Structure 1
């Protein structure tokens, strides 16, 4: 079968399984598709009202390793539904309605390591003989209302790691029943009502080295419980005791502590302890005993009265125990031990301890690990003075407080301090003026540090420096940092454009984390990227953690894939390209000007555009009334041949769209020349003057220009068109042509090109200058009518 066929077959099987679970069957059916995947090794079907499992239910999940079917409504279970799941390791069927299981089907889960069958409807804890075949079983969860002596005989030979017994509803227990269990840790939820519970406790304390007991409730007095514990604890083999969900008065807990101190118990953990009644100081002799570690986690003080001469919490500072943890206890006070303490580890996390703790305390000479994480410490100057008397202190954690730098005195740290955690505070750059010189691991992450100064060079033993989530704008100068530094974390800062030089100086650091910064991808980052590629073995997270943030169009692009052009990043290449382009353009322009007379063409086009604009915006209808000709031509008789054979034929074409007033055909006989000139100028919309040295020598040309001056210049001088047929030096123009001099000096005129190839553009430009829509009179009408 091909991979494609196998995929579609699995898909159809998955669809059939999902379709078989109706919305009424599953409380979270809308989330169910998100949980299901053919490739998943974990499947969570808890909190569904599943009452029965079909043989084909899980057939498609061949890789299934962890299955959670807790909090359902299963009434019976046949393990044959898992016959195809050889990889299944963990199965949780707790909190269902199971009364029996089909023991013969246990052979299908022989590779199972975790089975939780607690909180079902089993009356007895009896495990059938087929459980003996589960040779890989390491964790087992059970619950029952009755436990008989031989209920666990079939697993007696198995060395388990953990057994959980939920016995809240236990009604009968036969002595010695738990003695058959062979486990490293036993977790028992004590029954609410049980006669002779000491028998159960005795067995609990003697079958494993680690014991966890849950749900001990005695709000007023715990004499029976204390007495029973005292009876069995003396012969106990338990070295690690965990008490969970305990409610009792503080003085009763004190009795349990005293009993534990003089037993085989070495590690005592009390989790979620609610103490009631009064809270007062009571002396307990902790000087002798085997207890090495004491932990209080999640302490709920339902106490309304404190009554004692000494502070009630002094009992903790007097304890002779190497490791003490008090966490989530709303602790506001912890006194300095009166006598020299054997504390080696003191963990006071998630409390409300404030400034001043352990000031001038000289009895914590053996302390090596001190943790004040998540309290309300504020003044950083108290921390060095606190440690100065702790001669053995190696690890200090004051993270998650409100510390700010306020150093006004000389910093006196413990010389033995090697690990210092200042993360998640309000510390600024001045912290580098006051650090322990022998520290090897320094955590300053999640603070307000903007730069790392030269003061860091005093830390000659520094091996790891954490500066993530600060306000750094550049990579610290590693030349000022110890040569022993092997780890540097500066991710999630404000490093937009790190330089190649900064990274090169840190090339001896074996592990650098600098990703997750908001990189601005530009030319300045190109050199850094090249260096980072060479040092990629030192850069943790390269290249996937290094992404562009700016500009917006490059957001999300990996730095390794950012390749700006060489031209845009090299100023010399860019300048050379611009200069070279300009030189080539100048040479090209010179070539055009020399061989193609480009300026002439430009002037002609400019004139054409200018006239086009003026015609569109300047001519009024009343200016065109009474006009019969588009233009009147004035020229010297010496230029007659050019006008007759070139000018008129190229302007007046066959379409007769333009009509020229020419004296040879349009002057009226019987009229004087002056009268004809005046009338022709008035009947023409524009006047064309063909200028040449001959023009300024002609008297009649002088008259025509004079009349045109008075007729046109006062109205619209744009209607005067000058054609320079031949060059006219200014000194040859007589004074009487002063107006002509001014016009030629300040107005553009059209030059007749000698090159034949330019004639076409010249005539087109001239026609455009003359062309206009005028209400021409009937040709038969007299000029003078």
Structure 2
């Protein structure tokens, strides 16, 4: 039984406090007992970022099985997965976020999410599910957000949602539920649901009694894009509802509105009835239903008489926000908003408005936000001057070609002004004179070629100015002198080729300056134009014309006064000639954290380049023609954490061995000519958690044996896309995957050798033990027999006369008989000379030697056979030796 199944069995089915505590305890327990942080691992199709496994756009047809168990997020969006199986998430108990958006999922096995007891967010949008079966979401007791829109769901089993007792957000829009009764089987199991989105499900009726039998805790309900012809609420089933969207889809039938009691929707504060087709009387009744609480009303693309609807809605005393987008209002008359005295936010985007009466907004005494975006205005309407309380004005995406001196007169409270995507060609010197509180000004994507001193005297509270995508060619002296509070200045995508000395005077609080995609050259940098930007944090020069011909020191380093600068980017300069950087180019940047010089045709970096930037953490020198990097280059930047060296001419990474980059965590070295990655190089960067070596020409031999094993087995460093590393040498292995290389023959397995030796010793010991126990006497006999053979071979050719006539072999027990009977007969009567061991053996000499000498010194051997003789070991040996 898995841990997830155990929790499912012990947690009660109700949504009690005990249930919450049990789930929380389980999740915390898993987190506390997790031993390995999610920092490394080589994955076949994914990568790890922080605590999330990212497998987006990997053409996966199944959920990968090699995901570390400690991840908390899992993004599988935009793949080709067609089925979710029971085992897919079995080993991911800590998962809190799961994204399966944009796949081809047709079926989810029952219990597929059973182990995900800590999951809080699940996204199943844009798949091909046609039904939700029983127990499909078993185990998801802690889930709070479920998105399952844009599928083909027709049926929902009665038990599908019964386990998700903590669900607060459900989006099941754009399916094929057809009948509101299908939603009833969902809601009966979701006591905590607050936000329900069921738009575009082809509902034709909405009857409250079909949806629920009791009150719901819903705060938000989206019924939009459904062809509802009959809308009836007969009971107070939505006592907490504050947000209601019933905007309609294009259709011919009108909706019939029937809410028995006006108090049933008395708390709705935001209502969207865009495109709704309804009889005027029903529309009036609808708006009267929310008369006591409505603060925000959306009536976009309406078919009714808009003026009448505006008058009805504006009589609601609590009405503050009115959205009237895409209603084809070509003009605004003086009386259209007469009754809207309480409205503070008015959105008229996309109405093709070309004329606005000067008194059109006069009755909007408290208006704070006005959007006139996406219309046909050719100038700033004078009607806006009658709005002294206006805080935000949006005039973007019109046809405004010029700004006159009095266009923003009396707008002393305006804080945000949007004029982007117009055709403004120039600014008047005093056009912004009354905008004393303006903080954000958006003028991008116009035709502005001259600023005409518009920012020299006014706008002292401006913090953000966007002038990008215009036609500026130069920035003149003191052009922004009046912008003392400015923090963000966007000048990118112009045609600036000249920065006059002193052009940034007054911008002492500027923190971000964007100058990319202009025509700025190194001469502009050498003129000390940035000396006044003492608080600058970010400076971007990408895609300009900056190029130095040598690395000689500059007499006036361009950034010597920018001590607080943290990010400097000078990549992708459009000049194709080889370039250098002066050795003191970064002088003064003592707080620089990020330096980007990607793709500037750089061929050399002086070893003193970074001695001025001791805090540097990120360095990008990719796409240059650097042939070599000295380890001494990195000596001043020991805090470096990220290094990008892709597409260079470097032949190896060995410079890292002596660079002492002990804090380096991220290394990207794609598409180079690295053939061998040495163990010494990897060991020199102990903090490395991510390395990207895609597109290199690896050698598939024993030189890469260690790297191949490390890439596959190390649990600290993630080697991105290692499963696709391809061999380029030797020729017969070209095209083979590096991780398929057999490296067993490349190293001596000490552990295996120790195992074999130990095994052999144990077996030998066992054989010796068994032999000694069972065959020791046979071995002793064999030993002596062997000695006898040796002596026989030694003495068989000797011709010396025998010393005795016979050697008498007998048992000690038979000695009396030998002395009394045998000895007198043979020596006394026959005259033989006999050899007896108790009489003739040499004292101190080994008994075996005495026996063999006696046998070889006698012509014959006489054995006195008796029972005692046969039982004697020594007698047995004597007869065997004699034989």
Query: What is the TM-score when the length of structure 2 is the normalising length?
Result: 0.50
SS at match of 1:387: coil
Q: 1:267 aligns with which of 291, 296, 302?
A: 296
Paired with 1:41 and 1:564, the residues of 2 have a C-alpha distance of 44
The answer to whether 1:456 aligns with 2:456 is: no
What are the equivalent positions in structure 2 for 1:69-148 lying under 5 Å apart?
A: 72=104, 74=106, 77-80=109-112, 83=115, 89-92=121-124, 96-103=128-135, 106-117=137-148, 120-123=152-155, 126=158, 130-132=162-164, 134-135=165-166, 138-141=169-172, 143=177, 145-147=179-181
Relative CO higher for 1 or 2, CA cutoff 8 Å, sep ≥ 6?
2
Instruction: Structure 1: state its 5+ residue gaps.
Output: 15-27, 567-785
The residue number in structure 2 matching 1:292 is 320
SS at match of 2:137: helix
C-alpha contact (below 8 Å) 1:448/1:470 kept by paired residues: yes
Deviation string 1:603-625 (CA, Å, 9 cap, x unpaired) is: xxxxxxxxxxxxxxxxxxxxxxx
Deviation string 1:538-597 (CA, Å, 9 cap, x unpaired) is: 445335x5454434345944699853799xxxxxxxxxxxxxxxxxxxxxxxxxxxxxxx
What are the equivalent positions in structure 2 for 1:153-302 lying under 5 Å apart?
A: 155-158=189-192, 160-164=194-198, 167-169=201-203, 173=207, 175=209, 177=212, 180-189=215-224, 192=227, 197-199=231-233, 206-215=239-248, 224-225=256-257, 228=258, 232=262, 235-244=265-274, 246-248=275-277, 255=284, 259=288, 262-270=291-299, 273-276=300-303, 284=311, 286=314, 289-297=317-325, 299=326, 301=328
The answer to whether 1:343 aligns with 2:343 is: no
Paired with 2:535 and 2:507, the residues of 1 have a C-alpha distance of 10
The answer to whether 1:505 aligns with 2:527 is: no
Paired with 1:71 and 1:504, the residues of 2 have a C-alpha distance of 50
Q: 1:447 aligns with which of 463, 466, 470?
A: 470
Query: What is the TM-score when the length of structure 1 is the normalising length?
Result: 0.55
SS at match of 1:400: coil
How many equivalent pairs are there? 527
Post-superposition offset of 1:456: 3.1
C-alpha contact (below 8 Å) 2:427/2:448 kept by paired residues: no
Residues 283 and 59 of structure 1, relative CA distance in 2, 3 Å threshold? closer
C-alpha contact (below 8 Å) 2:324/2:347 kept by paired residues: yes
Residues 207 and 501 of structure 1, relative CA distance in 2, 3 Å threshold? same
The residue number in structure 1 matching 2:336 is 315
Instruction: Structure 2: state its 5+ residue gaps.
Output: 1-35, 48-55, 68-72, 580-596, 609-883
SS at match of 1:456: coil
The residue number in structure 1 matching 2:605 is 563
The residue number in structure 1 matching 2:354 is 332
SS at match of 2:481: helix
What are the equivalent positions in structure 2 for 1:679-718 lying under 5 Å apart?
A: none
C-alpha contact (below 8 Å) 1:457/1:481 kept by paired residues: yes
What are the equivalent positions in structure 2 for 1:753-768 lying under 5 Å apart?
A: none
Post-superposition offset of 1:460: 4.4
Paired with 2:512 and 2:426, the residues of 1 have a C-alpha distance of 25
**RMSD over equivalenced CA pairs, Å:** 5.0
Paired with 1:490 and 1:317, the residues of 2 have a C-alpha distance of 47
Post-superposition offset of 1:402: 0.4
Paired with 1:462 and 1:326, the residues of 2 have a C-alpha distance of 30
Post-superposition offset of 1:346: 0.4
- Bigger Cα displacement from structure 2, 257-266 vs 315-324: 257-266
Paired with 1:556 and 1:434, the residues of 2 have a C-alpha distance of 34
Paired with 2:601 and 2:560, the residues of 1 have a C-alpha distance of 14
What are the equivalent positions in structure 2 for 1:610-625 lying under 5 Å apart?
A: none
Post-superposition offset of 1:386: 1.7
Residues 84 and 528 of structure 1, relative CA distance in 2, 3 Å threshold? farther
SS at match of 2:407: helix
Paired with 2:280 and 2:380, the residues of 1 have a C-alpha distance of 29
C-alpha contact (below 8 Å) 1:295/1:324 kept by paired residues: yes
Deviation string 1:344-366 (CA, Å, 9 cap, x unpaired) is: 1101112222225126x652121
The answer to whether 1:419 aligns with 2:444 is: no
Residues 261 and 524 of structure 1, relative CA distance in 2, 3 Å threshold? farther
- Bigger Cα displacement from structure 2, 320-329 vs 139-148: 139-148
SS at match of 1:328: coil
Paired with 2:310 and 2:576, the residues of 1 have a C-alpha distance of 68
Post-superposition offset of 1:106: 3.0
Q: 2:495 aligns with which of 468, 471, 482?
A: 471
SS at match of 1:284: helix
Deviation string 1:307-332 (CA, Å, 9 cap, x unpaired) is: xxx95685257633101112223232
Paired with 1:438 and 1:406, the residues of 2 have a C-alpha distance of 14
Paired with 2:423 and 2:41, the residues of 1 have a C-alpha distance of 56
What are the equivalent positions in structure 2 for 1:382-397 lying under 5 Å apart?
A: 384-397=405-418
Paired with 1:254 and 1:194, the residues of 2 have a C-alpha distance of 14
Deviation string 1:168-210 (CA, Å, 9 cap, x unpaired) is: 2366745271754323322224753565x2228x768644222
The residue number in structure 1 matching 2:546 is 520
Paired with 2:546 and 2:147, the residues of 1 have a C-alpha distance of 53
Paired with 2:60 and 2:217, the residues of 1 have a C-alpha distance of 39
The residue number in structure 2 matching 1:68 is 100
Residues 280 and 230 of structure 1, relative CA distance in 2, 3 Å threshold? farther
Q: 1:370 aligns with which of 366, 371, 393?
A: 393
SS at match of 1:453: coil
The answer to whether 1:488 aligns with 2:523 is: no
C-alpha contact (below 8 Å) 2:380/2:403 kept by paired residues: no
C-alpha contact (below 8 Å) 2:528/2:558 kept by paired residues: no
SS at match of 2:534: coil
SS at match of 1:139: strand
C-alpha contact (below 8 Å) 2:220/2:242 kept by paired residues: yes
- Higher helix proportion, which one? 1
SS at match of 1:346: strand
- Bigger Cα displacement from structure 2, 105-114 vs 530-539: 530-539
Post-superposition offset of 1:374: 1.0
The residue number in structure 1 matching 2:381 is 357
Paired with 2:422 and 2:551, the residues of 1 have a C-alpha distance of 37
SS at match of 1:186: strand
